[in-house]
Amino acid sequence: MLSFYGVYKSYSSPYFALSNINFKVEKGEFLFITGPSGAGKTTIIKLITREELPSKGKILFEGKDISAIPRGKLYSYRRKLGIIFQDFRLIPYLTVFDNVALPLILRGSGKQEIYNRVTTALKELEIIHKARELPPSLSGGEQQRVAIARAIAGNPDLLLADEPTGNLDPLLSRKIMRILQRINMKGTTVIIATHDQSIIDEFGKKVIFLSYGKIKRIKT
Protein backbone atom coordinates (compact mmCIF):
# COMPACT_ATOMS: atom_id res chain seq x y z
CA MET A 1 0.00 0.00 0.00
CA LEU A 2 2.75 2.44 1.01
CA SER A 3 6.49 2.32 0.27
CA PHE A 4 9.39 4.63 1.04
CA TYR A 5 12.37 4.24 -1.31
CA GLY A 6 15.61 5.97 -0.35
CA VAL A 7 13.77 8.95 1.15
CA TYR A 8 15.76 11.94 2.43
CA LYS A 9 14.27 15.09 3.91
CA SER A 10 16.15 18.26 4.61
CA TYR A 11 14.39 21.33 6.01
CA SER A 12 17.56 23.37 6.09
CA SER A 13 20.59 22.03 4.25
CA PRO A 14 23.03 20.45 4.88
CA TYR A 15 21.21 18.85 7.82
CA PHE A 16 18.92 15.88 7.06
CA ALA A 17 15.86 15.31 9.27
CA LEU A 18 15.54 11.93 7.48
CA SER A 19 18.23 9.94 5.65
CA ASN A 20 17.77 6.96 3.36
CA ILE A 21 14.41 5.80 4.72
CA ASN A 22 13.20 2.52 3.22
CA PHE A 23 10.13 0.62 4.40
CA LYS A 24 6.88 -0.88 3.17
CA VAL A 25 3.45 -0.99 4.73
CA GLU A 26 1.04 -3.66 3.52
CA LYS A 27 -2.72 -3.26 3.56
CA GLY A 28 -4.15 -4.12 6.97
CA GLU A 29 -0.87 -3.64 8.87
CA PHE A 30 -0.53 -1.95 12.25
CA LEU A 31 2.78 -0.14 12.32
CA PHE A 32 4.54 1.88 15.00
CA ILE A 33 7.20 4.45 14.19
CA THR A 34 9.22 5.27 17.28
CA GLY A 35 12.34 7.04 18.42
CA PRO A 36 13.32 9.94 20.68
CA SER A 37 12.13 13.49 20.15
CA GLY A 38 13.65 14.91 16.97
CA ALA A 39 14.26 11.46 15.42
CA GLY A 40 12.00 12.24 12.45
CA LYS A 41 8.66 10.58 13.32
CA THR A 42 6.47 13.59 12.53
CA THR A 43 8.44 14.23 9.35
CA ILE A 44 7.53 10.75 8.11
CA ILE A 45 3.85 11.41 8.86
CA LYS A 46 4.04 14.81 7.08
CA LEU A 47 5.66 13.20 4.05
CA ILE A 48 2.82 10.66 3.87
CA THR A 49 0.16 13.39 4.11
CA ARG A 50 2.14 15.47 1.62
CA GLU A 51 2.40 18.42 3.96
CA GLU A 52 6.09 18.04 3.08
CA LEU A 53 7.89 16.76 -0.03
CA PRO A 54 10.95 14.50 0.12
CA SER A 55 14.28 16.13 -0.80
CA LYS A 56 15.29 12.86 -2.47
CA GLY A 57 13.73 9.46 -2.99
CA LYS A 58 10.22 8.24 -3.69
CA ILE A 59 7.07 7.58 -1.71
CA LEU A 60 4.55 5.33 -3.41
CA PHE A 61 0.95 5.01 -2.30
CA GLU A 62 -0.97 2.25 -4.05
CA GLY A 63 1.81 2.17 -6.63
CA LYS A 64 1.75 5.91 -7.42
CA ASP A 65 4.44 8.47 -6.60
CA ILE A 66 2.68 10.89 -4.26
CA SER A 67 5.18 13.68 -5.08
CA ALA A 68 3.72 13.69 -8.59
CA ILE A 69 0.16 14.43 -7.46
CA PRO A 70 -0.70 17.94 -8.65
CA ARG A 71 -1.79 20.39 -5.94
CA GLY A 72 -5.32 20.48 -7.31
CA LYS A 73 -5.68 16.71 -6.95
CA LEU A 74 -4.31 16.45 -3.42
CA TYR A 75 -7.80 16.44 -1.93
CA SER A 76 -8.63 13.16 -3.65
CA TYR A 77 -5.42 11.57 -2.31
CA ARG A 78 -5.99 12.90 1.22
CA ARG A 79 -9.54 11.55 1.14
CA LYS A 80 -7.96 8.09 1.47
CA LEU A 81 -6.19 9.13 4.67
CA GLY A 82 -7.51 9.64 8.18
CA ILE A 83 -5.25 11.83 10.30
CA ILE A 84 -5.24 12.09 14.09
CA PHE A 85 -3.18 15.04 15.34
CA GLN A 86 -1.56 15.13 18.75
CA ASP A 87 -3.19 18.47 19.54
CA PHE A 88 -6.57 17.19 18.23
CA ARG A 89 -7.16 20.28 16.03
CA LEU A 90 -10.87 20.40 16.78
CA ILE A 91 -12.71 23.58 15.90
CA PRO A 92 -13.78 25.05 19.26
CA TYR A 93 -16.92 26.85 18.04
CA LEU A 94 -18.36 23.85 16.16
CA THR A 95 -20.23 21.07 17.97
CA VAL A 96 -18.70 17.62 18.25
CA PHE A 97 -21.10 16.45 15.54
CA ASP A 98 -20.14 19.29 13.18
CA ASN A 99 -16.40 18.76 13.79
CA VAL A 100 -16.72 15.15 12.65
CA ALA A 101 -19.05 16.14 9.79
CA LEU A 102 -16.86 18.95 8.42
CA PRO A 103 -14.45 16.85 6.27
CA LEU A 104 -17.47 15.03 4.81
CA ILE A 105 -19.24 18.34 4.07
CA LEU A 106 -16.07 19.66 2.40
CA ARG A 107 -15.89 16.61 0.14
CA GLY A 108 -19.51 17.12 -0.90
CA SER A 109 -21.14 14.08 0.75
CA GLY A 110 -24.95 14.03 0.91
CA LYS A 111 -26.86 14.99 4.09
CA GLN A 112 -28.08 11.48 4.89
CA GLU A 113 -24.66 9.95 4.28
CA ILE A 114 -23.04 12.55 6.54
CA TYR A 115 -25.58 11.88 9.28
CA ASN A 116 -25.04 8.12 9.05
CA ARG A 117 -21.24 8.26 8.97
CA VAL A 118 -20.93 10.81 11.79
CA THR A 119 -23.39 8.93 13.99
CA THR A 120 -21.66 5.60 13.36
CA ALA A 121 -18.20 7.06 14.13
CA LEU A 122 -19.38 8.80 17.32
CA LYS A 123 -21.05 5.58 18.50
CA GLU A 124 -17.95 3.56 17.71
CA LEU A 125 -15.90 5.93 19.87
CA GLU A 126 -18.61 5.97 22.59
CA ILE A 127 -18.91 9.76 22.46
CA ILE A 128 -22.31 10.11 20.77
CA HIS A 129 -23.81 11.51 24.00
CA LYS A 130 -21.59 14.60 23.55
CA ALA A 131 -22.62 15.22 19.92
CA ARG A 132 -24.20 18.62 20.68
CA GLU A 133 -21.41 19.85 22.97
CA LEU A 134 -18.53 22.14 22.05
CA PRO A 135 -15.00 20.66 22.24
CA PRO A 136 -13.72 22.99 25.02
CA SER A 137 -16.32 21.50 27.41
CA LEU A 138 -14.88 17.99 26.88
CA SER A 139 -12.02 16.29 28.74
CA GLY A 140 -8.74 15.53 26.95
CA GLY A 141 -9.66 11.88 26.47
CA GLU A 142 -13.09 12.82 25.10
CA GLN A 143 -11.56 15.33 22.66
CA GLN A 144 -9.15 12.65 21.52
CA ARG A 145 -12.05 10.29 20.83
CA VAL A 146 -13.77 13.01 18.76
CA ALA A 147 -10.53 13.50 16.82
CA ILE A 148 -10.42 9.76 16.11
CA ALA A 149 -14.11 9.74 15.12
CA ARG A 150 -13.38 12.54 12.64
CA ALA A 151 -10.42 10.62 11.22
CA ILE A 152 -12.40 7.42 10.67
CA ALA A 153 -15.77 8.90 9.59
CA GLY A 154 -14.62 9.10 5.97
CA ASN A 155 -13.71 5.40 6.03
CA PRO A 156 -10.02 5.96 5.22
CA ASP A 157 -7.73 3.29 3.74
CA LEU A 158 -4.87 4.50 5.92
CA LEU A 159 -5.16 5.94 9.42
CA LEU A 160 -2.22 8.05 10.62
CA ALA A 161 -1.76 9.09 14.22
CA ASP A 162 0.99 11.38 15.50
CA GLU A 163 1.52 10.78 19.23
CA PRO A 164 -2.15 9.86 19.76
CA THR A 165 -1.56 9.27 23.46
CA GLY A 166 0.81 12.21 23.96
CA ASN A 167 -1.40 14.18 26.33
CA LEU A 168 -3.25 11.33 28.02
CA ASP A 169 -2.68 9.42 31.25
CA PRO A 170 -1.60 5.74 30.99
CA LEU A 171 -5.12 4.37 31.50
CA LEU A 172 -6.64 6.56 28.79
CA SER A 173 -3.66 5.88 26.51
CA ARG A 174 -4.39 2.18 26.67
CA LYS A 175 -8.06 2.77 25.98
CA ILE A 176 -7.22 4.85 22.89
CA MET A 177 -4.75 2.20 21.73
CA ARG A 178 -7.38 -0.52 22.04
CA ILE A 179 -9.75 1.61 19.93
CA LEU A 180 -7.07 2.03 17.24
CA GLN A 181 -6.42 -1.72 17.35
CA ARG A 182 -10.14 -2.42 16.90
CA ILE A 183 -10.27 -0.08 13.89
CA ASN A 184 -7.25 -1.93 12.46
CA MET A 185 -8.90 -5.32 13.00
CA LYS A 186 -11.82 -4.11 10.87
CA GLY A 187 -9.38 -3.72 7.97
CA THR A 188 -7.97 -0.16 8.15
CA THR A 189 -4.19 0.12 7.85
CA VAL A 190 -2.82 2.07 10.84
CA ILE A 191 0.48 3.93 11.30
CA ILE A 192 1.22 5.39 14.73
CA ALA A 193 4.14 7.69 15.55
CA THR A 194 4.94 7.57 19.25
CA HIS A 195 7.86 7.93 21.64
CA ASP A 196 5.92 5.97 24.29
CA GLN A 197 7.89 2.76 24.79
CA SER A 198 5.33 1.24 27.18
CA ILE A 199 2.60 1.48 24.52
CA ILE A 200 4.89 -0.22 22.00
CA ASP A 201 5.82 -2.97 24.46
CA GLU A 202 2.15 -3.64 25.02
CA PHE A 203 0.73 -3.20 21.51
CA GLY A 204 3.71 -3.22 19.14
CA LYS A 205 3.68 -5.68 16.31
CA LYS A 206 5.70 -4.12 13.54
CA VAL A 207 7.92 -1.31 14.83
CA ILE A 208 10.31 1.02 13.00
CA PHE A 209 12.97 2.42 15.33
CA LEU A 210 14.32 5.82 14.26
CA SER A 211 17.38 7.60 15.57
CA TYR A 212 18.72 10.91 14.22
CA GLY A 213 16.65 10.52 11.06
CA LYS A 214 17.82 7.01 10.23
CA ILE A 215 16.11 3.64 10.60
CA LYS A 216 18.03 1.78 13.32
CA ARG A 217 16.02 -1.40 12.95
CA ILE A 218 12.62 -2.76 11.97
CA LYS A 219 10.95 -5.28 14.26
CA THR A 220 8.35 -7.38 12.45
Taking the complex as a whole, how short is the minimal distance between the CB of residue 81 and ligand ADP, in angstroms? 18
Rounded Cα distance between 26 and 30, Å, is 9
| CA neighbor of 185 nearest in space, from 166, 202, 205 | 205
Taking the complex as a whole, how short is the minimal distance between the CB of residue 12 and ligand ADP, in angstroms? 6
Taking the complex as a whole, how short is the minimal distance between the CB of residue 111 and ligand ADP, in angstroms? 39
Q: Tell me if 17 contacts ligand ADP by CB under 6 A.
A: yes
Rounded Cα distance between 133 and 150, Å, is 15
Environment class of residue 132 by beta-carbon count within 10 Å: exposed (0-12), middle (13-18) or buried (19+)? exposed
Taking the complex as a whole, how short is the minimal distance between the CB of residue 169 and ligand ADP, in angstroms? 21
Sheet containing strand 189-194, edge to edge, reads: 81-84, 158-162, 189-194, 30-34, 206-211, 214-219
Minimum CB distance to ligand ADP smaller for 52 or for 98 = 52
Taking the complex as a whole, how short is the minimal distance between the CB of residue 103 and ligand ADP, in angstroms? 24
Minimum CB distance to ligand ADP smaller for 42 or for 99 = 42
Give the single-character DSSP code of 68: G
How many residues sit in the footprint of ligand ADP (CB under 6 A)?
Answer: 11
Beta-carbon-side half-sphere exposure of residue 149 (alpha carbons within 13 Å): 30
12, 13, 112, 220: which one binds ligand ADP (CB under 6 A): 12
Minimum CB distance to ligand ADP smaller for 21 or for 122 = 21
Q: Which of residues 31-50 bind ligand ADP (CB under 6 A)?
A: 35, 37-43
Q: Which residues bind ligand ADP (CB under 6 A)?
A: 11-12, 17, 35, 37-43
